[in-house]
Structure 1
Amino acid sequence: MARVSQEHLDARRRQILEGAARCFARNGFHATSMQDVLKEADLSAGAVYRYFSGKDELITAIVKGVLAEVRAAFEEITRQSPPPPPDVLVGEVLARALGRWETLSADGEATFPRLIMQVWAEAARNPELAGVVDEVYGVVTTAWIRVVEAYQDAGMMRADIPAEHVARTMVATVQGFIAQQSLLGPAPVEVLQDGLRALMSMAGPQPGA
């Protein structure tokens, strides 16, 4: 019997995860059955169970994959010295994440934002997922702190505000935009970038205004 290549195994695993991700984004973790996943991935039960023991293992694998992609994109972009300004940095990271997952949807569903919302909800009751989310949040926040410190050192940002406070605010801004995408429908990343750019341009009241 011919051996199955690692490339084939990786492609099949990816096919299963992408099918499951679409189901979870569409119907939520708990309303999705393994039968739904089999149908979406167009595979037999034997093919799927060869890679994953059940839905919980699928959920964990998808969550780790999604958050790892966000983390990798952010870390890659923040290697620049000095880093790009916040509007550019946030836009590039979100564009990569949204673009990667929206290619999985043939009907314009907001797969990535809906999936992230499901992750946040599930993390509130699943300690294993909560640990994964906390780890990635910590890594991203730490990376943002380094970015803010680089801005401050370069004279691009006022230095009297704690870097951690700015970092948490930027993380919250991205989380809010993802929530809006999920609840209100897709919006271009440029919307967030324009908003950040406008806030960054604020100055004190002009004399006589």
Structure 2
Amino acid sequence: MARVSQEHLDARRRQILDGAARCFARNGFHATSMQDVLKEVDLSAGAVYRYFTGKEDLIRAIVTEVLGELRGAFEAAAVQSPPPPPDALVGHVMKEVLGRRKGLSYEDESGFPRLLVQVWTETLRNDELSAQLREGYDTVRAAWCKVVEAYQTAGMMRTDIPPEHVARTMIGVAQGFCAQQALFGPVPVEVLQNGLRGLMSMGQQPR
């Protein structure tokens, strides 16, 4: 029997993850069955269960992947000297993550934000997923703290405010933007960037 290449295995896993994400975005987590996923990816149950044990395993994999992308984008920015200003950085990361997810053939641009909101809701009843999301959030926050520290070192930001406070706020801005996309429909990332730029222009000085 011919040995299956790692490239083939990775492509099949990618196919399953992308199909499951489309199903979850379209119908919600609880309204989606594994049969729906099998139909979406046009694979047998045996082929899918070789990679994932069920819906919760699929959603955990999707969450891990997205958080990894976010962390990687912010960590890459932290090594720049100085990092891009917050409006440019957050806009770049949002475009990168949302842009990649558009390739999954969601019905519209708000599909991926809807998936995020569903994941957040699921964490309220799923302790294991909640712990995973918290761990991922902590890594993203740590990456953002490094960015804030770089801002402060470069004289771009006040030094009397703890970096973690700024990091939590900026993450909240990104999360809120995704929530608006999910609830009210697609909005260009430039809207978020312009809003941040407007707030940054106030030039408040330390008291």
TM-score for the superposition, normalised by structure 1: 0.92
Secondary structure of 1:37 counterpart:
helix
Q: Stretches of 4+ moved more than 4 A in 1? A: none
Q: In 1, are the aligned partners of 2:88 and 2:193 still within 8 Å (CA)?
A: yes
Letter in 2 for 1:176: G
Higher relative contact order (CA 8 A, sep 6+): 2
1:23 aligns with 2:16: no
- What is the 5 A alignment of 1:157-172? 157-172=157-172
TM-fit CA distance, 1:85: 0.3
Structure 1: segments with no counterpart, 5+ residues: 205-209
How many residues are treated as equivalent by the alignment? 204
TM-fit CA distance, 1:203: 4.4
Distance 2:203 2:61 in 1: 46
Counterpart in 1 of 2:75? Answer: 75
Q: In 2, are the aligned partners of 1:148 and 1:163 still within 8 Å (CA)?
A: yes
Over the aligned positions, Cα root-mean-square deviation in angstroms equals: 1.5
Structure 2: segments with no counterpart, 5+ residues: none
TM-fit CA distance, 1:93: 0.8
TM-fit CA distance, 1:86: 0.2
Letter in 2 for 1:63: V
| 1:50-97: CA deviation from partner (whole Å, max 9, x where unpaired) | 222222211211221222122222212222121110001101111110
1:12 aligns with 2:12: yes
Counterpart in 2 of 1:145? Answer: 145
Counterpart in 2 of 1:207? Answer: none
TM-fit CA distance, 1:26: 1.2
Cα distance, 1:106–1:117 mapped onto 2, change above 3 Å = closer
Counterpart in 2 of 1:121? Answer: 121
TM-score for the superposition, normalised by structure 2: 0.93
Q: In 1, are the aligned partners of 2:74 and 2:147 still within 8 Å (CA)?
A: no
